[in-house]
Chains A and B, each alone.
Chain A
Amino acid sequence: MKTLLLFMCAAVSLQAADYYVTVAGLGGDPDYEARFVKWAQDLERELKTDPDAHVITLSGLGATRQQVEQAIAKVSSEATETDTFALFLIGHGTFDGTDYKINLPGPDMTGAQLAAALNRIPARRQLVVNMTSCSGASLASLTRKGRIVISATKSGNEKNAPVFARYWVDALHDPSADTDKNGSVSALEAFRYADRKTAAYFESEKLLATEHALITDTANPTGVRDPKPENGQGLLAASFVLIRQRTESGKALSPEKQRLVSKKEDLEAKIDRLKYEKAAMDETDYKRQLTALLLELARTQAEIDR
């Protein structure tokens, strides 16, 4: 994540996801049904903390294929290219060796059918988080340029109901998910949080992990467990904000404040560069230079906030 910041220092501007659709599919038994509905409701509650967000939640008998397609079609008709869209899938999935399907009341929906519907949404930046069992098998059909795809499982063979969804929802309200402390949680931060919590769950229960989440944001249908510059993954996900940040950009800044903001950005860029060069530096020298830059940044921020 630290070196990833270097690639981001050209400042991909943070944009909020404007449109959200959550689908909680068939539970099959009362326990799962209750669990899936709860997660969908919790997700809805978190997303609606942004008053500008357009949130559609489908669950239980109200999550038929027709209703899912209608919800996505509604987004297609309303969203523009500059908007963002996120789809969250919760429930049971299946994979027969060829097709991934999400279990819905009535006919199921395949990965290809979902992709076809999503491809009609004009929003250039999209996120799909497939938190169903066997979801790893949906990556190939869902990946597309500009679309971040996250699956709770690494393949169609991980068939147990994942716990990833529970921790994905937690990521949206747990302050510790915001690891870079910029006041918002990105798709990458949420992925890392949920993945880590999932692993910790299996470890604490002394169970063999039956799910391994993947992410891809480069149209490469092979997702990765650990996105980083070395594998080229994570850049888009790092800039896709799930919980919108209040920026200063909306306010008019005095010339002095503008100067300070520029200075701050310059210092941040220097810090990123220094961190990138850390491996090749003497430790004491690195620490001295880093401390000096951080102090200067802190003073600058204090001035901005005055």
Chain B
Amino acid sequence: MRIFTLIFTLFLPAVAALPGDNCKALRHHGQMKEARACFSALAASADAFSQAEGLWGLQRFDDAKLAFTAAEKRTPNSAPLKTEFGLLFFERFNSAEAVNLFTQAVTLDNNYAPAYLGIARVAAAAFDHRASEAAEQAAQHDPKLYQAHELLAFLALEDNDAKKAQEEAQKAIGISNEAIDAMAVLASIDWLNGKAESEWLPRILKINPVYGEAYSTGGHFFEINRRYEEAIQYYRKALDLNPALWSARSQLGVNLLRQSADAEARQQLELCYNAHYRNAETVNSLRLLDSLDTFETFKTANTELRLSRKEAPLLRPYVEPEMQRAIATYERKYQMKLPGPVHLELYANHDDFIVRTLGLPGQGGLLGVTFGLSVAMDSPTARQAGQFVWANTMWHEMSHVFVLSATHHLVPRWFTEGLAVHEEGSASPEWGDRMTPEIVSALEKKQLLPVLELDKGFMRPKFPGQVMISYYQAGKICDFIHQKWGDAALLGMIHSYAARKTTDEAIQENLHENPAAFDKEFFAWLDQQTANTVKHFADWKKGMKDLVASYKAGNFDEVIAQGVKLRDDYPEYTGGESAYELLADAYQHKGNKIAAIAELEKYRAAGGTTVESLKKLALWEQDAGNLKQARTTLATLNYIYPEDEETHRRLGTLLLQAGDADGAVREGKALLALQPFDAAESHYELAKALKAAHRMGEAKDEVVLALEAAPGFKPAQQLLLQLSQ
């Protein structure tokens, strides 16, 4: 539940006066004792609506709900009553019921502005692009409804449109010189720009000396701009003014958790919970904190890695070296050192990871999230095998760590995401964002955004998939900049953002052209890469359906005849039943092993991640004597799905054959961490690897374990005899 739900429910002048208006006015001025007395009197009223308003004002939410229900029964056709009831639901974390009531209200009275405003608030809480539209409707239906302009100001600032935010805020203040939420937005603009002493705060506090919401509004904007330390500071200031501002306290707890300040996070969240402020973020964050007992933290000089105890033996040998590799790469590239260790958490339970991203905009489909020096991501076990490449995600998030630090969290979302995607591809050509069918469709419909508007694609997507399309576009922009102007230009843009420059300024300074010219060049460059696929997309879709049908019918000649062109028309497509995989199987059936291997190697190079296809490739490569390639393919699999026993077993054997004893030991230990079915064989293979690595004592321990499982296991017996000589 968004912080500003409380902000905007304080006072709502209706077309006709509401029973609670006078009490709310007292509260609006910070006269809390008087307001409470007023609400108490109202709660004792014989009129059900008045009673409901009174009980709500006294925060007796359950009683208020009952009173509203009774009032609704008596007056079923009152738009104001339904709207107030809806606001109660909204305040108490039930958006669905709230929207239902607001919609009923506008059905009863399609001029009732507060109901439109209610709809706008619910949409805004979900970062839904329809929020502005509904707020505009509210303003149109009631030009004196200054809260509509307050919300429009708030939404504009969320979209980084400070100019519009100021305009709307001034409109609100023009209507009412007590539009303190509009002033809070104006103060937030100052704070975001580094102006700690804003003229607006004293004006707010003159109207309401205990208006903590002013600071928590600032906290919200710092938070969505990833400036979490500052967000924490402002939530604390909010609570200094009003310790009972539970929404601020909940956000404080959530942000402390993001900064790995677990103990204080728990303290703040428990206070909220005990005060019955039990929104989803509070409850889920507390549950996550409870689950952290099942985690273990591993520290080095510059990293802290938190893994579930169950997964730690398997994942740590892979994740920790990869973290070090990423840190070394980025230190060199970004010419900087981080101010502290990187804290990385991998969640085996995807729901726990989701708790980390709650309340942040544009988070659909995320695999990882960075909060500064802290990173949270899905463990490979959190998702279906082959759904994502954990190492790719880790490199992506590590880029954020550096860029956020380098820019003091001032970098715009589009650029840090674009650079992170670009870095994926730099780390490995098999990684990076591929052009999915949704993206091809977006290119077809010309839905990509000008660079100056690209942040909106992340913050307030206008259609499903726009966030992912924005990632792709942002990544391509950084690829383009890298290609044309070099890494120096990318680094230059980082420095520009650190100096509080806008995107317009950063582009002009580093690329020496204006954004419009840049967009023209970029789209032409992108078009060169994608035009062929876009042009043939409709035919490709049909062709692939036919190809799959031919494959299922066992018509492999037809698959080969049609598949090559389909593959080449859309070479980036590696989704389910890709042309590569179908061709590979068709070649295999026709006895052309070389061509089959070549197809799957192309598939791997194109970023294909289907575990079964890659395992098949590794086996074919091995059978064909391409042992180096087989090792490469199996290593790729470890980056995708390290839970596969067979991968570790085969890679361990190949590494041992190739003389890489340490690698073989790593694979052998990973296999045992999976508690394999064939324990005897697994211990034996590890024993051989340890022997090759001259770790004789450990080798003997392992071979004893092998024989403990299977005393008659002859190869292990022979190894024991050798080790005992």
- Indicate, yes or no, whether A interacts with B: yes
Residue A302, interface by CB 8 Å: yes
A204 partner, pick from B384, B649, B709, B711, beta carbons under 8 A: B384
Is A205 touching B709 in the complex (CB atoms < 8 A)?
no
Residue A281, interface by CB 8 Å: no
Residue B223, interface by CB 8 Å: no
Is A294 touching B720 in the complex (CB atoms < 8 A)?
yes
Q: Which residues of B contact A14 (CB under 8 A)?
A: none
- Of the candidates A182, A193, A271, A295, the one having the most CB atoms from chain B within 10 angstroms of its own CB is A295
- Of the candidates B383, B678, B681, B709, the one having the most CB atoms from chain A within 10 angstroms of its own CB is B678
Within 8 A of B (CB), among A71-91: none
- B611-637 CB mask vs A (1 if < 8 Å, else 0) is 100000000000000000000000000
Q: Residue of A at shortest CB range from B643?
A: A204
Q: Residue of A at shortest CB range from B704?
A: A291
Q: Residue of B at shortest CB range from A272?
A: B711
Distance from B647 Cβ to chain A, minimum over Cβ atoms (Å): 12
Is B718 touching A298 in the complex (CB atoms < 8 A)?
yes
A97-B708 Cα distance, complex, nearest whole Å: 46
Chain B interface size, as a band, is 20 to 34
B717 partner, pick from A2, A179, A301, beta carbons under 8 A: A301
Is A294 touching B718 in the complex (CB atoms < 8 A)?
no
Q: Which residues of A contact B711 (CB under 8 A)?
A: 268, 271, 294, 297
Within 8 A of B (CB), among A267-305: 268, 271, 275, 287, 290-291, 294-295, 297-299, 301-302, 305
A178-B649 Cα distance, complex, nearest whole Å: 16
Q: Which residues of B contact A305 (CB under 8 A)?
A: 714
A302 partner, pick from B643, B704, B717, beta carbons under 8 A: B717
Of the A-B pairs whose beta carbons lie under 8 Å apart in the complex, a sample of 30, sorted by A's number, is A176-B676, A176-B678, A178-B678, A179-B677, A179-B680, A179-B710, A180-B712, A181-B710, A181-B712, A181-B713, A182-B710, A182-B712, A192-B677, A196-B677, A197-B677, A204-B611, A204-B644, A271-B711, A275-B708, A287-B704, A290-B708, A291-B704, A294-B708, A295-B720, A297-B711, A297-B717, A298-B707, A298-B717, A299-B721, A305-B714
Residue A206, interface by CB 8 Å: yes
Within 8 A of A (CB), among B699-725: 700, 704, 707-714, 716-718, 720-721, 724
Given contacts A180-B680, A291-B704, contact A268 B384 (CB under 8 A): no
Is B384 touching A206 in the complex (CB atoms < 8 A)?
yes
Residue A175, interface by CB 8 Å: yes
Task: Kindly list 20 other residue pairs between chains A and B, CB separation below 8 angstroms, not including A175-B678, A204-B643, A294-B704.
Answer: A2-B708, A175-B681, A176-B677, A179-B709, A180-B680, A180-B712, A181-B710, A182-B710, A193-B677, A203-B381, A204-B384, A204-B611, A204-B644, A268-B712, A287-B704, A290-B704, A295-B721, A297-B711, A297-B712, A302-B721
Q: Residue of B at shortest CB range from A196?
A: B677
A302-B715 Cα distance, complex, nearest whole Å: 11
B714 partner, pick from A196, A203, A299, A301, beta carbons under 8 A: A301
B721 partner, pick from A31, A176, A298, beta carbons under 8 A: A298
Secondary structure at the B interface, as helix, strand, loop or mixed, is: helix
Given contacts A175-B681, A176-B678, contact A206 B383 (CB under 8 A): yes
A114-B641 Cα distance, complex, nearest whole Å: 43
Nearest 6 A-B pairs (CB), nearest first?
A: A298-B717, A176-B678, A181-B713, A181-B710, A204-B385, A206-B384
Q: Which residues of A contact B644 (CB under 8 A)?
A: 204
Chain A interface size, as a band, is 20 to 34
Distance from A9 Cβ to chain B, minimum over Cβ atoms (Å): 11
Distance from A49 Cβ to chain B, minimum over Cβ atoms (Å): 20
Within 8 A of B (CB), among A202-250: 203-206
Residue B489, interface by CB 8 Å: no
A297-B711 Cα distance, complex, nearest whole Å: 8
Is A181 touching B680 in the complex (CB atoms < 8 A)?
yes
Within 8 A of A (CB), among B511-537: none
Q: Residue of B at shortest CB range from A301?
A: B717
- A176-205 CB mask vs B (1 if < 8 Å, else 0) is 111111100000000011001100000111
Distance from B722 Cβ to chain A, minimum over Cβ atoms (Å): 10
Distance from A75 Cβ to chain B, minimum over Cβ atoms (Å): 32
Chain A residues in the interface with B (C-beta under 8 A): 2, 31, 175-182, 192-193, 196-197, 203-206, 268, 271, 275, 287, 290-291, 294-295, 297-299, 301-302, 305
Is B681 touching A176 in the complex (CB atoms < 8 A)?
yes
Is B718 touching A302 in the complex (CB atoms < 8 A)?
yes
Q: Which residues of B contact A197 (CB under 8 A)?
A: 677
- Of the candidates B384, B611, B649, B707, the one having the most CB atoms from chain A within 10 angstroms of its own CB is B707
A302-B721 Cα distance, complex, nearest whole Å: 9
Is B708 touching A179 in the complex (CB atoms < 8 A)?
no
Q: Which residues of A contact B700 (CB under 8 A)?
A: 291
Q: Which residues of B contact A268 (CB under 8 A)?
A: 711-712
Distance from A198 Cβ to chain B, minimum over Cβ atoms (Å): 12
A182-B717 Cα distance, complex, nearest whole Å: 13
Q: Which residues of A contact B676 (CB under 8 A)?
A: 176
B641 partner, pick from A179, A204, A291, beta carbons under 8 A: A204
Q: Residue of B at shortest CB range from A176?
A: B678
Is B384 touching A205 in the complex (CB atoms < 8 A)?
yes
Q: Residue of A at shortest CB range from B644?
A: A204
Residue B679, interface by CB 8 Å: yes
Q: Which residues of B contact A177 (CB under 8 A)?
A: 677-678
Distance from B350 Cβ to chain A, minimum over Cβ atoms (Å): 8
Distance from B12 Cβ to chain A, minimum over Cβ atoms (Å): 45
Given contacts A204-B611, A290-B704, A301-B714, contact A181 B721 (CB under 8 A): no
A169-B383 Cα distance, complex, nearest whole Å: 28
Is A295 touching B718 in the complex (CB atoms < 8 A)?
no
Q: Which residues of B contact A203 (CB under 8 A)?
A: 381, 643
Distance from B314 Cβ to chain A, minimum over Cβ atoms (Å): 14
A298-B715 Cα distance, complex, nearest whole Å: 10
Q: Which residues of A contact B714 (CB under 8 A)?
A: 181, 301, 305
Q: Which residues of A contact B710 (CB under 8 A)?
A: 179-182
- Of the candidates B383, B713, B724, the one having the most CB atoms from chain A within 10 angstroms of its own CB is B713
